Chains A and B, each alone.
Chain A
Amino acid sequence: MSDMEETEGAEGPVARHRVIGTPPPSPRLLGPTAVAEDREAAIVSDEKGFEEHIQGLPPDDPRVIVHASRVEKIVAACFILAFIAGCGFIAAYVGLGVHSVNKTLRSNLALGFSLSVTLAALGLGALLWVRHLMPDVEVVEERHELRSDEKDRKAFGSYFKEGTANSQFVKRPLLRRTLMLGTLPLIAAPVVLLRDLGPQPGTSLRHTVWSPGRRLLVAGTNQPLTPAQFSAPGSMITIVPDGYSDNLDELTKATVILIKFRPGELDIPTTTNGGTLVGTMNWTVDNIVAYSKICTHVGCPVALYEQTTHHILCPCHQSTFDATKGAEVIFGPAARPLPQLPLTVDSSGYLVAKSDFTQPVGPSFWERG
């Protein structure tokens, strides 16, 4: 190999400047060829990395000594830099306070940058050290057989048999079975102990706190609302039930979106599910309709409303509901329309619920039916 290279010495540059698509020069492995080539190359070119042209030279070669002392200085500089940056880190901790956004920003910059420099300098120093100063040792280790030899396998088998026989585990089925019986409850115990992690769901997923006459409050201001106050068509607001405006557990089920339409836009088909009325125009007041805000897919709040198309969009998985048609699904993974909340007005003229939702809100569950 190396002979060939040398006989074609006239093409020396070709050997060094690889043509794209040709195999790379020998990886530095064991082979004396690699050494010979590298030594050759070292004389011709200084542009190559250290390993490629110093590797293989004897340690007392002047070039190696010069190079090593240069690298030593660089490595030491790295470690000194790490020390300085590390001191900077401690200084930044002591000197720079926090307790405000701007101060935190400054502190984070100083701490983070000094820490990064310390770590990077340590890493760089260690890397240069191992790659440039430690001699390139290559060790070949034999792999041992993973499988035990036959003698050991046989011995294991016979010991096992002997032990089993001595224990009489096989011979005495009464003991064996009563032992298993005895441990059985113990195995079940941890599962039983987990029972009190939570209550049984019962019917809690079927109901919300909406009840006949409960007022609709505007989320945020918590003020009741009359149809006249919500007269701008096209807008959508979030509604919470009176008395539960900051009860997150109840709001998770009971929160409602209220949408006002122009006369004639709203066209909710009267739909029933198993004999239960689930959607009708009769539940709207003055072209105002209320739908559950909890997506029927996996429970995200359906917070986006496009006025021109009357589409309600869930930002999580893009289930899209047509607000004019009883929130029927027109795209996405949700399988059911958003439940409609029956609306009416009370004696003071405020919007109130006519009843609870007539079907469970939110994501599907096994017992939903």
Chain B
Amino acid sequence: MNIVVRAADGGIDAPALTRRAAELRGKIIGMSHAAQAAHLASSLSCADIVTAAYWHVLRIDAARPKDPLRDRFILSKGHAAAALYAALAMKGFFALQELDTYCQDGGRLAEHPPANLLPGVEAATGSLGHGLPLGCGMALSGRIKGEVFRVFALLSDGENNEGSVWEAAMFAAAQKLDNVCVIVDYNKWQATARSNETLMLAPLADKWTAFGWDAREIDGHDVGAVAEAMQRVPNGSGKPVALIAHTVKGKGVSFMEDDNNWHYRAPTADEVVKARKELGLA
């Protein structure tokens, strides 16, 4: 279960990662249906990023979830918890069957990741703009204690509305936290409107560059490209790294893609069948 997907030469096995991403999407869709929970489209848009992180990039071990030297992955866009839970279960941090308890009474898998409750969850998120400051604190603690690890924070594009993100961006640059990496899931939608019609994010990569980061734009659905970009952290620039990942909300299911109704809608049983077929999971 807990196997990093790598090609025979140790490089990125993109086809295998792509299959993992499809499986992850299948789990997420099933969970959304069973729980009739919101944020399905947000979870699907970051599925390739989460796959790249958990199946290629992160130095983590499900058997030692508190290892001081592990890489930290903070799902700052906590509303995509289904994607995180599914990945953690598939990686063996807890039993796959526990995914059936998602949003159920008395369970550990709430709609947003909990604090100090579930192995593999680095931080309780759900309120946006918290993950990066926490990550900076973790990175600095590593520096102080002489522990070498990396910190990845996955942010939504709407999350870039929060001032605390930019406070942290300036702080990380001033402290030269080159082991910190932000990935922005830039699906161009926030909860109720187009992102750039709400608060102007564009040019988003230029903004992160101007804030002292080594920023680049990537295709957030090219799981191999995402894995390669994340794997390069720290990249020798001496700066924290921002990956502006262009994505499509609801990616992977034709009738959900770029339709913001799926920010809140949950699929019917029939829609689950159709979606799984499209993902090649039928």
Q: Do A and B bind each other?
A: no
